[in-house]
């Protein structure tokens, strides 16, 4: 998953696009791990569907209000992948972390010069952080000393 998120981030940084094949692969692998490893397929499906739907709604609303694109459909597909990997309850944390990092990133002049900021890398990092937090004990990371 981490490798796929890294590849998606690099592509988004260079092209402002998140390829369907890779975002779908992220979602499918998330659903597979939820079914075969975690036995939480229902939560994974809900996470993917609701994550996608919320970002598409934001995309449409932003375009209607501002008359230009904000989030891209690729961001919605990436969040669907995040929802598949982290489940429904991981979604708010993914969006919170990604949005916070995006706001911090927008403060840097070198990023602002371009004005367009790809959100995919921030989402990818949010997905990875939330997934690690949700799976810390299985990964051997102690949550408390």
Q: What is the pLDDT of residues 32-43, one digit of tens each?
A: 999 998 789 999
> Residue 136 is inside which H or E element, if any?
none
pLDDT of residue 115: 73
pLDDT for 83-136, tens place per residue?
999 999 999 999 999 999 999 888 876 655 557 789 999 999 999 999 999 988
pTM above the 0.75 mark? Answer: yes
User: Token digits for 32?
Assistant: 């597979």
Rounded CA separation 31/66 (Å): 35
C-beta separation of 121 from 9 below 8 A: yes
> What was the pLDDT predicted at 87?
95
């Amino acid at each position: 998953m981490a490798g796929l998120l890294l590849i998606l981030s690099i592509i988004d940084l260079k092209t402002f696009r998140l390829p369907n094949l890779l975002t779908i692969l992220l979602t499918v692998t998330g659903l597979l791990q939820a079914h075969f490893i975690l036995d939480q397929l229902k939560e994974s499906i809900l996470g993917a569907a609701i994550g996608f739907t919320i970002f598409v709604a934001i995309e449409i609303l932003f375009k209607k209000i501002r008359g230009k694109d904000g989030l891209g459909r690729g961001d919605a597909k990436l969040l669907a992948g995040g929802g598949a990997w982290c489940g429904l309850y991981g979604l708010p944390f993914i969006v919170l972390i990604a949005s916070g990092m995006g706001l911090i990133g927008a403060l840097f002049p070198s990023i602002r010069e371009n004005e367009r900021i790809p959100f995919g890398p921030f989402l990818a990092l949010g997905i990875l952080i939330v997934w690690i937090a949700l799976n810390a004990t299985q990964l051997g990371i102690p949550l408390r000393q």
